[in-house]
Chain A
Amino acid sequence: MTKTVVSFDQAIQELEEIVRQLEQGDVPLEDAISLYKKGMELSTVCHDKLHNAEKQLISLMDNNGDKVPFNSPEKEDSSK
């Protein structure tokens, strides 16, 4: 499968849709198998996206409308 960039939202929506279609039953076998393949790919995409995001990107919009890194107050907390 060609790697296209999909958002997590799209991926999980498609995944839900696939589950819904499969749950409806009376899906022809060929379709069920292609849905299965697509579902597996999507679940991997979702899984990867969820796994890879461990640290949040936090930035601050300054007065000039520029994004600058923002030191999370959480860090201050953890230093306590």
Chain B
Amino acid sequence: MNYVKTNEVKTGKIKGEAVFLIERLLLYFFIVRSLCVTTSYLTVKALTKYIKRKFDADPHLRNVYVKGELSNVKIHTSGHIYFTIKDDKARISAVMFATQAKNLKFRPESGMNVLVQGDVTVYEGPGQYQIYAQVMQPDGIGELFVAFEQLKEKLAKEGLFQTSRKKQIPRFPQTIGVITATTGAAIRDIITTLSRRYPMAEVIVFPALVQGSAAAPSIVKALKQANAYADLDVCIVGRGGGSIEDLWAFNEEIVAREIANSNVPIISAIGHETDTTIADFVSDLRAPTPTAAAELAVPNQLELLQLVTNRKSQIVSIVTATLSNERKRLTRVMSAYPIAYPERLYRPFVENLTRISEQLEKNGRTIINQKQQLLIQHKARLTLQNPQRLVKQQQNELQVNIERLNVAAKKNIQIKGVLFSNVIQLLEALNPLKIMDRGYSITYQNNQVIKSIKEIDPNKPLHIKLQDGVIVASINSINKQSKGEST
């Protein structure tokens, strides 16, 4: 039985070796059977052990790749998964232990096509051979899966998935577009969530088919409509869960490109959390479900109300604090030295003023005193120079002179009187009237003394004054006297 331990088999010799093994096996069975008939029977356990060894020894039954459809999937509470892999011709039991099962990205379900990698061996109890799965992944996407990967790679190369391309989802949208089927869970979930969270916003539904061959063009048309509609702040594109085929429209290139070209920010919400489509990669924000999309699209109005209230009270408390701070500041400033004791500010000036005033007064008095003294001196000097004395002196002098003048004048008058009486005597002696006593007369014409005949107007009377009266005479003739003759 040594040959069963032959583990190392070179691939080139596999076929020959296998034929050899089968031949040896058949031969061995014949021997056993003849032995049983004649000698003893094998226990079931021994036989099973033998068979198990055969399985374990076969390198072709290790690390086997099998594809098929899942059925009878049972997930044990321990985490082990028991299932059957089948195709239309055969089936094989399988188990995946919890250690490996926990690495699965999906939940195996009956009917799912899978690719399984594992070892085939015998489970001795029920006498079953089964595959112990190490790795399992979904199959059956087939071409779709390939198409998905190819488109994903192509669009990624074009940079359509880049974060820099992603548009910001507005915080407070006023108008929200929804592109999905008008019936079904998705639209209900979205609208229910939007109404619950943010009834402020207007919702416009752009109906689209989301399943089947017409879905992709229909979604594209709705996206165009949504972009043509003015004032749309954000748009949710999505549908509820389904198989990969159901969701396929969202993996189509025309849909992906339309989403990438959209001016309106797009939130994708396709299927369940585990479903990822190309649309999710190009959208500005991926939501795991339609409900989540609605939650991402809008804030919660009640929370906002709370936020506004909080902001309001924040403002009140900050401004109140500012006011109280400013008030404190004012108080502090008001109690500051110069304002609290303003007189201290000008006290030095007052003191200075007082000092200067005093000095001024003192100096002034000194000057006045000096000037007064000067005045007194001058007065004294002036008194000394008083003209009264001079006047008196002059008066005295005048008096003396007057007296002397009086004496002189009297003397003079006496002398003149004597002279006068002398003259009078002389004069009397010379008085013509005295001469008239001796017979002389004076002739007047027109009150003029006539001294010559030449002065006479013969037509006018003559007045001839005598000693005792006047004769008025008219002129008869005028005779010129010859020389040497007296009158």
Q: Which residues of A contact B (CB under 8 A)?
A: 7-9, 12, 15-16, 18-19, 22-23, 27, 29, 32-33, 35-36, 39-40, 43, 46-47, 49-51, 53-62, 65, 67, 70, 72-74, 76-77
Asked if B384 is at the interface of the complex by the 8 Å CB criterion, the answer is: no
Choose among A8, A39, A59 the residue that contacts B172 (Cβ–Cβ < 8 A): A8
Which interface residue of B171, B204, B318 has the most chain A CB atoms within 10 A? B318
Choose among B194, B222, B305, B308 the residue that contacts A56 (Cβ–Cβ < 8 A): B194
- Which B-chain residue is minimally distant from A76 (CB atoms)? B188
Q: How far is the CA of A32 from the CA of B318 in the complex (A)?
A: 9
B195, A56: Cβ atoms closer than 8 Å: yes
Given A8-B172, A56-B203, verify A19-B225 contact (CB < 8 Å).
Answer: no
- Which A-chain residue is minimally distant from B320 (CB atoms)? A36
Interface string of B193-214 (1 = CB under 8 A from A): 0110011111111110000000
Choose among B172, B201, B203, B315 the residue that contacts A36 (Cβ–Cβ < 8 A): B315
Asked if B183 is at the interface of the complex by the 8 Å CB criterion, the answer is: yes
Given A12-B308, A47-B308, A61-B206, verify A19-B194 contact (CB < 8 Å).
Answer: no
B319, A36: Cβ atoms closer than 8 Å: yes
B207, A23: Cβ atoms closer than 8 Å: no
Q: How far is the CA of A61 from the CA of B182 in the complex (A)?
A: 11
Kindly list chain B residues whose C-beta atoms are within 8 Å of the C-beta of A77: 188, 192
- Which A-chain residue is minimally distant from B319 (CB atoms)? A36
Q: How far is the CA of A49 from the CA of B305 in the complex (A)?
A: 10
Majority secondary structure, A binding face: helix
Choose among A50, A60, A72 the residue that contacts B301 (Cβ–Cβ < 8 A): A50
Majority secondary structure, B binding face: helix
A15, B195: Cβ atoms closer than 8 Å: no
Q: Which residues of B contact A (CB under 8 A)?
A: 170-172, 174, 182-183, 187-188, 191-192, 194-195, 198-207, 222, 225-226, 228-229, 301, 304-305, 307-309, 311-312, 314-316, 318-319, 322-323, 326
B308, A65: Cβ atoms closer than 8 Å: no
- Which A-chain residue is minimally distant from B185 (CB atoms)? A73
Query: What's the least CB distance linking B383 to chain A, in Å?
Result: 81
Query: What's the least CB distance linking B58 to chain A, in Å?
Result: 59
B200, A50: Cβ atoms closer than 8 Å: yes
Q: How far is the CA of A79 from the CA of B205 in the complex (A)?
A: 22
- Which B-chain residue is minimally distant from A70 (CB atoms)? B205
Kindly list chain A residues whose C-beta atoms are within 8 Å of the C-beta of B199: 53-56
A18, B315: Cβ atoms closer than 8 Å: yes
A46, B201: Cβ atoms closer than 8 Å: no
- Which A-chain residue is minimally distant from B318 (CB atoms)? A22
- Which B-chain residue is minimally distant from A18 (CB atoms)? B315
Given A12-B172, A18-B315, A61-B225, verify A47-B182 contact (CB < 8 Å).
Answer: no
Kindly list chain A residues whose C-beta atoms are within 8 Å of the C-beta of B308: 12, 15, 43, 46-47, 50
A59, B319: Cβ atoms closer than 8 Å: no
Kindly list chain A residues whose C-beta atoms are within 8 Å of the C-beta of B228: 65
Choose among B315, B322, B323 the residue that contacts A39 (Cβ–Cβ < 8 A): B315
Kindly list chain A residues whose C-beta atoms are within 8 Å of the C-beta of B187: 73
Query: What's the least CB distance linking A30 to chain B, in Å?
Result: 10
Choose among B171, B174, B229, B319 the residue that contacts A22 (Cβ–Cβ < 8 A): B319
The 7 closest A-B pairs by CB, nearest first: A53-B200, A73-B188, A43-B312, A39-B315, A9-B172, A56-B199, A36-B319
B188, A8: Cβ atoms closer than 8 Å: no
With A54-B199, A61-B222 known, 14 other A-B pairs at CB within 8 A are: A12-B307, A23-B314, A23-B318, A29-B326, A32-B323, A39-B311, A46-B304, A50-B305, A56-B195, A56-B199, A60-B182, A70-B205, A74-B192, A77-B192
Kindly list chain A residues whose C-beta atoms are within 8 Å of the C-beta of B301: 50, 53
A59, B311: Cβ atoms closer than 8 Å: no
A58, B191: Cβ atoms closer than 8 Å: yes
Query: What's the least CB distance linking B224 to chain A, in Å?
Result: 10
Which interface residue of B182, B195, B201, B311 has the most chain A CB atoms within 10 A? B311
Given A35-B315, A46-B304, verify A74-B191 contact (CB < 8 Å).
Answer: yes
Choose among A27, A35, A40, A59 the residue that contacts B203 (Cβ–Cβ < 8 A): A59
- A sample of 12 inter-chain contacts (CB < 8 A) reads A9-B170, A19-B318, A23-B314, A32-B322, A36-B316, A47-B305, A47-B309, A60-B204, A61-B225, A61-B226, A70-B203, A73-B191
Q: How far is the CA of A36 from the CA of B323 in the complex (A)?
A: 11
- Which A-chain residue is minimally distant from B170 (CB atoms)? A9
Query: What's the least CB distance linking A14 to chain B, in Å?
Result: 10
